[in-house]
């Protein structure tokens, strides 16, 4: 039974309930429309349809947005129950198929996304019916609600109902552009923290472990270049804007960069793949799990920073 059939049994449209839940969560029509990918007139129309179907107003407009009426408060847990049931049906519907075709969504952080993306070409060549959506995000998806099919994270997750698959570790070190290192010999010594410019994440991301580690060593200094995305930092470091922390599989492969330290023990992390039990044996999901495990295994030395370094690397990481 498709997800929408659950709501139709109650005499209302599933899409109308989805809009209701989105407005209840977002608190405004505009934010709900953005979250759903609808135009605001569509959100208004579907809310009116639902109110007419139920014979009651569900929201009242306030200076701060849209607030649930008493009728809306009564509907909310029931609508959420329908949404949860629809999600379960949708998740288990994937298991009914017996082929490896279809869409699989993989959510992960910036480092792993950077690692997996170049490998997708080979996967696409051998599995033309498979579509992989690689979602780079700092947020953990809700696998129960199928915000993603697979989630790769660092650090051992707490025990729960999700299936956990160990992948391996990714090491990081300090890197700088060869031009900067040649111009500032201090970059090769422990005086680099005070003597050299730095590139790092911006203030909203100072909670990252790598940022806490770096800021402890910089003291009252601040990086001269700060960026919200890892890809921007890589470009800035490559251009000589400052030294920075990079995963070894990125820094060691770039002929324009110099590794200045050994892999940093405090920043090393084991990575885990999480999948919902209902999906773990779905053919296309199983294929992606095996593919990710193989990619980590085959690139183990590069990921751990133990492969041969270029002769130009120098520094105390030789």
Q: Residue 98 burial by CB count (10 A; 0-12/13-18/19+): exposed, middle or buried? A: exposed
Q: pLDDT value at position 92?
A: 63
Answering whether pTM is above 0.85, one says no
- pLDDT grade for 304, boundaries at 50, 70 and 90: very high
The packing angle between helices 14-26 and 40-54, to 10°, is: 110
Q: What is the pLDDT of residues 140-183, one digit of tens each?
A: 888 887 889 999 999 887 778 899 999 999 999 999 999 999 99
Same CATH fold, 172-267 and 3-95?
Answer: no
What are the structure tokens assigned to 61, written together? 């407009």
Q: pLDDT value at position 124?
A: 73
C-alpha dihedral (147, 153, 156, 158), degrees to nearest 10: -20
Q: pLDDT value at position 95?
A: 58
CA distance 195 to 317: 19
Mean per-residue pLDDT over the chain, rounded: 86
Q: What is the pLDDT of residues 41-67, one digit of tens each?
A: 988 998 998 988 888 899 998 888 888
Q: pLDDT value at position 145?
A: 79
Mean pLDDT (whole number) for 225-251: 96
Q: Quick check: 190 pLDDT over 90? A: yes
CA distance 248 to 254: 10
CA distance 105 to 129: 14
**Class level of CATH domain 3-95:** mainly alpha
- pLDDT grade for 109, boundaries at 50, 70 and 90: very high
**CATH assignment, 172-267:** 3.40.190.10
Q: Quick check: 6 pLDDT over 70? A: no
Please name the residue that has the structure tokens 């999901």.
Answer: 285
Strand partners of residue 245 = 174
The domain locations on the chain are 3-95, 97-170+268-304, 172-267
Q: Quick check: 129 pLDDT over 90? A: no
Q: Are 68 and 76 in contact (CB under 8 A)?
A: yes
Pick the CATH number of 97-170+268-304 from 3.90.1150.10, 3.40.190.10, 1.10.760.10, 3.40.50.300: 3.40.190.10
Q: pLDDT value at position 90?
A: 65
CA distance 90 to 2: 7
Q: Quick check: 310 pLDDT over 70? A: no
Q: What is the rounded end-to-end Cα distance, in angstroms, of the chain?
A: 60
CA distance 16 to 31: 16
């Amino acid at each position: 039974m498709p997800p929408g059939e659950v709501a139709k049994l109650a005499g209302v449209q599933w899409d109308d309930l989805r809009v209701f839940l989105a407005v209840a969560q977002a608190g405004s029509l505009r934010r709900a429309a953005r979250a759903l990918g609808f135009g605001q007139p569509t959100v208004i129309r579907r809310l009116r349809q639902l109110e007419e179907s139920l014979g009651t107003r569900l929201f009242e407009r306030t200076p701060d947005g849209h607030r649930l009426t008493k009728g809306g408060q009564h509907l909310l847990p029931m609508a959420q129950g329908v949404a949860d049931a629809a999600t379960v049906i949708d998740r288990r519907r994937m298991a009914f198929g017996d082929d490896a075709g279809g869409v699989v969504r993989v959510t992960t952080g910036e480092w792993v996304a950077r690692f997996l993306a170049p490998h997708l070409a080979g996967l696409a060549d051998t599995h033309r019916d498979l579509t992989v959506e690689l979602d780079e995000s700092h947020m953990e998806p809700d696998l129960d609600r199928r915000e993603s099919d697979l989630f790769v994270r660092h650090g051992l997750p707490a025990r729960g109902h999700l299936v956990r698959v160990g992948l391996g570790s990714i090491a990081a070190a300090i890197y700088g552009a060869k031009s900067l290192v040649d111009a500032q010999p201090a970059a090769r010594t422990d005086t680099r923290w005070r003597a050299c410019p730095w590139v790092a994440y911006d203030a909203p991301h100072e909670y990252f472990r790598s940022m806490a580690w770096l800021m402890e060593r910089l003291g009252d200094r601040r990086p001269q270049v700060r960026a919200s995305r890892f890809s921007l930092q890589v470009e800035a470091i490559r251009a000589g804007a400052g030294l920075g922390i990079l995963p070894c599989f990125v820094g060691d492969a770039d002929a324009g960069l110099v590794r200045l330290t050994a892999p940093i023990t405090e920043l090393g992390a084991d990575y885990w793949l999480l999948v919902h039990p209902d999906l773990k044996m779905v053919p296309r999901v199983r294929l992606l799990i095996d593919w990710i495990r193989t990619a980590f295994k085959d690139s183990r030395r590069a990921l751990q920073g133990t492969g041969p370094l270029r002769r130009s690397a120098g520094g105390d990481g030789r």
